[in-house]
Amino acid sequence: MSRRRVGHRGVPAAALVPAVLAIAFLVLPLLGLALRSPWARLGEILTTTTVRQSLALSLWTSLVATAVSVLVGVPLAWLLARGRFPGRRVLQAAVTLPLVLPPVVGGVALLGVLGRRGLVGRYLYDWFGTTITFTPTAVVLAQVFVAMPFLVVSVEGALRGADERFDEAAASLGASRWTTMRRVTLPLIAPSLAAGAVLTWARALGEFGATITFAGNFPGRTQTLPLTVYAALESDPDAAITLSLVLLVVCLAVLVVLRGHWLGQVAR
């Protein structure tokens, strides 16, 4: 016997048409990317010097940016979640601002501070004769700026939700706050930390606006994958499509991994 559905929360037919339109709009371009990919030239495109350089650059800069984000982002999340000091809420807002800020604005802001005539960059140039702008370091900094908030928000939320009973147990055993954080709290929120790191890495890998503004677009030096895609659009559209496909596949993989996390499957 089939179960009768008594739906008060069903979807009216009138909503189906726009919904299908929305799906088509979101999915068709991605499908088109796969369909228009020059599969025959795939190997050739992926092994050109420019592409290889930008692949390598993107890979290592995004990984370094993720590592930096974890290194300083976790303590920051800790401070925001557990610290008691005036202005905490303001700081919280400031830290999450890059999530909604146009990346190009981030790039301009970084230039204003670290550029050759920037607030800090001026002294770097005067004293050490170096500038960060237009170097791979600038690529990393741009990525950290836009991507770290993902890590901070994810870890801060987990720390807030972490069970304080275990902190009490650790303290009663004589463990310092540092030991407790390192050996109890962080391992317990490891799934959230991992998810935040993956999200951060994906965001860093896809970073475009702040990078091109602050680090420039120099092949082999600051031209990351998204910048190569943009540059190739005129000279070699096939390459642009192929590289876009590469980025798409990476993002799909990230989604699959994170979906596992949201469903609690990554947690041991």
The residue ranges that bind another protein (CB under 8 A) are: 165-166, 168-177, 179-180, 183-184, 187-188, 268
Contacts 24+ apart (CB under 8 A), 258-263: 258/195, 258/198, 258/199, 261/191, 261/192, 261/194, 261/195, 262/195
3-state secondary structure of 6: coil
Question: Would you say 156 or 167 has its CB closer to another protein?
Answer: 167
Helix axes 49-82, 225-235, angle to 10 degrees: 140
Question: Would you say 84 or 268 has its CB closer to another protein?
Answer: 268
Nearest approach in angstroms of CB 71 to another protein is 22
CA distances 192 to 66, 147, 186, Å, are 15, 16, 9
Q: How far apart are CA 51 and CA 58, in angstroms?
A: 10
Nearest approach in angstroms of CB 261 to another protein is 17
Nearest approach in angstroms of CB 166 to another protein is 6
- CA neighbor of 191 nearest in space, from 250, 268, 259, 78: 268
Burial class from Cβ neighbours inside 10 Å (0-12, 13-18, 19+) for residue 105 reads: middle
Nearest approach in angstroms of CB 187 to another protein is 5
Question: Would you say 144 or 159 has its CB closer to another protein?
Answer: 159
Cβ–Cβ under 8 Å, residues 37 and 241: yes
Question: Would you say 10 or 174 has its CB closer to another protein?
Answer: 174
- For 118, which DSSP code? S
Question: Would you say 49 or 172 has its CB closer to another protein?
Answer: 172
Cβ–Cβ under 8 Å, residues 206 and 143: no
Nearest approach in angstroms of CB 174 to another protein is 5
- For 266, which DSSP code? S
Q: What are the structure tokens assigned to 266, written together?
A: 């990554």
Q: How far apart are CA 257 and CA 249, in angstroms?
A: 12
Question: Would you say 44 or 168 has its CB closer to another protein?
Answer: 168
Question: Would you say 184 or 241 has its CB closer to another protein?
Answer: 184
Cβ–Cβ under 8 Å, residues 88 and 95: no
Nearest approach in angstroms of CB 164 to another protein is 9
